[in-house]
């Protein structure tokens, strides 16, 4: 990649930016250091978001279930 650093001023980026782009390209083409590809990173973000939403829904359902169970217990107790 060293020879490509010569082009940084021409394209308006820093050598570090060009190195990062190179590493991302290597990962996306499967020749990198074994890190996640861009598509895999995107899918991971989507799955993490879905996981958060499902956990939040489960928590709401758990709380609602406890509320209604208590209400039913109170109703039966008052008879």
pLDDT at 2 over 60: no
* Helical segments of the chain, H only: 8-11, 15-29, 38-77
Rounded to two decimals, the pTM is 0.54
Which pLDDT belongs to residue 60?
A: 98
Which pLDDT belongs to residue 20?
A: 87
Which pLDDT belongs to residue 76?
A: 79
Per-residue pLDDT tens digits for 14-68: 888 888 888 888 878 777 666 777 888 899 999 999 999 999 999 999 999 999 9
8 Å CB contact between 26 and 32: yes
Whole-number Å distance between alpha carbons of 12 and 76: 75
Which pLDDT belongs to residue 46?
A: 98
């Amino acid at each position: 990649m060293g020879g490509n650093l010569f082009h940084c001023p021409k394209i308006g980026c820093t050598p570090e930016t060009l190195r990062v782009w190179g590493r991302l390209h290597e990962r996306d083409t499967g020749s990198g250091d074994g890190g996640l590809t861009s598509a895999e990173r995107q899918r991971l973000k989507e799955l993490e978001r879905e996981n958060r939403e499902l956990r939040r829904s489960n928590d709401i359902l758990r709380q609602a279930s406890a509320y209604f169970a208590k209400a039913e217990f109170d109703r039966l107790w008052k008879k």
